[in-house]
Structure 1
Amino acid sequence: MSAEGNLAVLLERRDRIRDWLARQTEHTTFEQKHLDAGTPEQTYWHHGYQSALDDMLKLLTP
């Protein structure tokens, strides 16, 4: 896939996640439980971030 195609895929994923987050309850914006050490929320956040980095590397690595 071309660099432009990769960028389009990433932008679409980002926008879909933003839309989904905007429809979720208000507390997710303010609570920030993923910042609390040792919580399941922190583990899930890091797992999601690591998965996103893997996706980026797959798109950017020939």
Structure 2
Amino acid sequence: MARMLRGTKLDPSIINAFFKRWRLDTHTFHLPCGECTITLEDINLQLGLPVDWDVVMGPVVSVD
């Protein structure tokens, strides 16, 4: 995972702000501009993570 996020800066204050706005019952973020959800396409575009392979259903062991 760390290799996939190389070059990405994770800001704890932004993560905390999104965490506080997450609504578990609707699986959306409640922002001042309205509701927002994250799609698999967003994950692909923002993080470069592939979303078209097999589903991972358990622990993943990295050899790095």
Q: TM-score, normalising length from structure 1? A: 0.32
Q: TM-score, normalising length from structure 2? A: 0.31
Higher helix share: 1
- Structure with greater contact order relative to length (CA < 8 Å, sep ≥ 6): 1
Higher strand share: 2
